[in-house]
Amino acid sequence: MSELRFDGQVAIVTGAGGSPGLGRSYAHLLAERGAKVVVNDLGVGPDGRGITLAHADRVAQEIVDAGGEAVADTNSVAEAASARAIVQTALDTWGRVDILINNAGVCPMAEFDVISEDDIEKIINVHTFGNVWMCRAVWPHMKAQGYGRIVNITSGAMFGLRYVVLYGTAKGGVFGLTRGLAVEGQQHGIKVNTVGPAAGTVAITHLNVETEWMKVMDDLKPEQVAPAVAYLAHADCAVSGKYLEAAGGRVAEKFTGETQGFYKADLTIEDVRDNLEQILDRTDFTPLADLGIMPDDGSIVPKPYQPA
């Protein structure tokens, strides 16, 4: 089989300045396979406090020193204007954008009733709004060229994990964004997928106390995740709207489904109580459809949109 390459394509990788870091590994692999890469990172580190800094310029220089093409960008993903500035960096440098890897994130860890309002806003702004603004910024360019690949980075924390309730909430939003954009992107040649990675990165060591779990994470390398992300960013990618988990060299699909449930036209509260076992029975569940919850056949026609 031929090698999958990205020659002539321009990629943006956000949150790519950490070392060791997942974004850095994505940027390096894309560049090694021929992509021109915008290495974006605000530089404030995994908790957003600037204690452990990230360096977009260093990662970009690593790529250049290895014979690749890269440019550093230090704009924030968390605001619409600065997200557009990141995309403009790609356009000003190479005249196009083909790939977006939405990796930027912060994750101050605390229990739900302890975490500060400022940190809640920071998490939602960077993860949820950051993905929205970056996708919005590249979307018109990808539509115009009839081609694009977007890989949003989510997390299994969206299914529930102590100390990162708001992070998981934000990542759940990223999954929903991915599914919706995958549907809208079909007619424009744009494929949108998401990856839930696990690796021993500077974020892990900075945010967690040393435990046996940390030693396990040390064995999971960012470079073992990068191939899954790079495949979803490639022209040969055969799927859209998918959620892949990637860690330690293993790649798997994570998906949701619907049970057969219980039906009664005059349903009562007691019916739900008395038939809960059947409602929750996963024996013959139906997986979530690949793209969309309803066919895009014109059956839904919204009234003309009026901007607020």
Burial of 56 (0-12, 13-18, 19+ CB in 10 A): buried
The residues pairing with 36 across neighbouring beta strands, listed in sequence order, are: 10, 69
Under a CB-based contact definition with an 8 Å cutoff, are residues 106 and 57 in contact?
A: no
pLDDT of residue 46: 62
Domains assigned to the chain: 10-253 (3.40.50.720)
Beta strands in the chain (DSSP E): 10-13, 36-40, 69-73, 99-102, 148-153, 190-198, 243-247, 250-253, 257-258, 286-287
pLDDT of residue 4: 97
The residues pairing with 243 across neighbouring beta strands, listed in sequence order, are: 194
pLDDT of residue 266: 98
pLDDT of residue 200: 61
User: What pLDDT, in 10s, does the model give residues 64-112?
Assistant: 999 999 999 999 999 999 999 999 999 999 999 999 999 998 877 789 9
The residues pairing with 286 across neighbouring beta strands, listed in sequence order, are: 258
> Which residues of the chain, if any, have pLDDT below 50?
209
Cis peptide before 140 (omega within 30 of 0): no
Burial of 31 (0-12, 13-18, 19+ CB in 10 A): buried
pLDDT of residue 202: 55
pLDDT of residue 220: 79
User: Catalytic residue positions?
Assistant: 167
pLDDT of residue 208: 52
pLDDT of residue 110: 87
pLDDT of residue 85: 98
207-211 contacts, C-beta under 8 A, 24 or more apart: 207/46, 207/47, 207/107, 207/108, 207/109, 208/109
Biggest alpha carbon–alpha carbon distance for the chain: 70
- pTM (predicted TM-score): 0.90
- Cα–Cα distance for residue pair 6/33, rounded to 1 Å: 6
- Cα–Cα distance for residue pair 190/146, rounded to 1 Å: 7
pLDDT of residue 107: 79
